[in-house]
Structure formats: C-alpha cells, structure tokens
Amino acid sequence: MSQERDPFSELQRSSRDVEEVRKGLERALAAHLPHGQGHTVHSIEGTSATGMSSETLLFDASWDDGDDRRRERLVARVAPFSNDVPVFPEYDLPGQFLTIQTVAALTDIPVPQAWWCEEDPSLIGSPFFVMGRVEGEVPSDIPPYSFGSGWLFEATDEQKARLQDSTVAVLAELHAIPEPEKHFSHLRADFPGDTALRRHVAGRRQWYEWAARDSGRSALIESAFDWLERHWPAHESPTVFCWGDSRIGNVMYRDFQPSAVLDWEMAGLAPGETDLAWLGYLHQMFEDMAVAYGFPHMPDFLRLEDLAATYERLAGRTPRDLDFYFVYAAIQLAIVYLRTGMRSVRFGEREAPADADELIMNADRLRALLGS
C-alpha cells in the first residue's frame, strides 16, 4: 500500500544548489547590466507559499551605477531540472517573458517589471527570467488560504467581494485584447484541431500522455477526456488571450485589489471560459480539502455562478457551457497532481502507488463531476 502524503506539507521542488545559483545570478547581472560594476547578490531564497511548477527565487542585488550604489529586490523565474519531475514537458521561458511584456504593453493590468530573459542554462542550471519584486499579499497555498485563518479568511465580506470582482476584472481586460492571435502568435498551439478550443484540449491530452509515461495511465483522466468529447459545446465561444493559471494564488493584492498578476506559463489562446472556470475550480479544490479535513472554509467565495455574473457585467458577454469548462479545469489539475505526486516519489516523500489514480488529489470531485 502506498504511503499517503500530508496534503498540507511543503513539497520539495528542486535539488538546485543555492550557492551555485547565487554565483550564476551574479554573472548574469554582469552580463545584462554591463555598464555597472561590482554586481553582488546579497541574499537568495525560494518561496513556497504558492505554485507547484516553476521555481521562484527571490534575491537582493546591488551594483555600482555611475556614482551610486544601486540596490534592487528582484525575482527569478526558473525552469526546473528535468530530473526533478517538472509539471510540464517544456518551459518556454522566452515565451513567458514575451507574454508579460505584451500584457504590460496592451493593458493596464499590473505585472512586474520585466528585466531580462536568460536562455543560457549554464549560469544556474536552467533558463530563467528576472522581474522586479512587487509588494503585496498573496493568498497562500500552504496552508490553503481558506482553512480558517489568515488575512483573506479574516477579511470582511466587502473586502472579499472587492478581491473577487477585481480579479474577474483582470480576466475581462485580458480577454478584451484585440487580435489575440496576432499579438500572442507565439502562443498559437501546434496541435491538431480546427478551432482554438480543439487545439487547446489536444495540447492538454498530449500533456497527459507525457505525464503517464512516469505515473502510469489514469483511467479517471482518460474517462474525463471521453466525457469532454460527449459534452463538447455546440457553439464555441470566441478565441481570446487566456492567462491560463488564473487563480488568486497567482496574484499579489494590495488593499484587496491586484498589485501584480503572476505566473503565465499556462497562457494560451482559447475561449475565455477556460480562465473563468479555472478561477472557480481551484477555489473549489481547496473547499473540498477543507470539508474533508474538518477545517472552516469559504463556501460563499469564488462561486462559479457569481464569477460568471460579474464577468458578464464587465465583459458584456454571457459565459457559456461552464459545466464543460469546470470539468476541463478538473482534468488539468488532475494532470498537475500526476506530476507533483511523482515528484514526491522522486524526493522520497511517498512511495509510488500501484494505480496512478491514487496520485490525483481531486479524484473524488472529478468523479462526481463525471457522474461516476
């Protein structure tokens, strides 16, 4: 019988040597800021409050800039080592960097200042890009923000509503970017299908096939993909630029409004309902966990019907087929869990199960959505 992992414990993400990373970042500073001198990285630390995919490294750096000693608080977004069981088969760091720059140029959505992208893996072991650090509060994943304590759980109803509505406003503004296939041509999926939704789902199916090479095949995920085919929308919504990982754990908030929108590695071209359903489903996942473990929770927050109503008011379009997109969100999270579960096996945090479905932490919810 496989060993159960505590779902609220911190997952090991990387085997990277911090001192080697510090030296590599200093070399990168010197290369990308050649007019300065004395490039120094004073501190470097990972952040474990959110995220299960790329590594996020916080560091303070300084250098001589003319007559002054300049100091900056920076963030490096780093592609994981291939032997650390990455969540995704590929990490297009230049593409993510370009996405951030494009969002900054075309919208008023707050994103961190993009400093540079380093494609050479020799400096710290993987490609990475560097951003300015932004101040704000992030809803925590570990422990989940809805588990009975913390700044968001303890907020007033008015503050929670402000956070919820302002987050939906981010989606509405992103989805309103004109000519998304032109501005985000680097995100056009090279997968089979005659519509953006078909290509998006085909890409996620290929992601699952890649993940199953390590975990073994998942009967649950495969039945869920079959469910999608049987319930495919009769009329697909327009193709828009989608954030992809549209959850509040990827936002920094100040006064319960976004001060920085983060994590663009799942961005793509698809109907806007994919973002809306992901926002609602990722909260539902925490709700299910809270109920299962007897924690206080937030049942009136980020409800899909409320998100849809706010989106309709802001975007001027009624979201359609949300049941379909909710299941699709659950499938994608299940694939994430296949990979993070195998990563726990890689780092000795659990034993490899006989059945891949045992790795899927949202399996009960997905089965319920499928009616099985």
Catalytic residues: 245
Coil/strand/helix, residue 44? strand
Residues 349, 352, 358, 360, CA torsion sign? positive
CB atoms within 10 A of CB 23: 13
Rg (CA), the chain: 21
- Cα–Cα dist 78/237, whole Å: 34
- Cα–Cα dist 153/232, whole Å: 36
E-strand spans in 245-349? 251-254, 257-261, 268-271
- Cα–Cα dist 305/315, whole Å: 15
For the chain, counts of helices (H) and of strands (E): 10, 9
Q: 165-201 as b/e, with b when 16 or more CB fall inside 10 Å?
A: bbbbbbbbbbbbbeebeebbeebebeeeeeebbbbbb
Q: What phi and psi, each to the nearest 5 degrees, are found at residue 145? A: -60, -20
- Cα–Cα dist 341/347, whole Å: 10
- Cα–Cα dist 248/145, whole Å: 10
Q: What phi and psi, each to the nearest 5 degrees, are found at residue 246? A: -85, 75
Residue 78's DSSP bridge partners are 55, 128
Closest CA to 291 of 74, 7, 10: 7
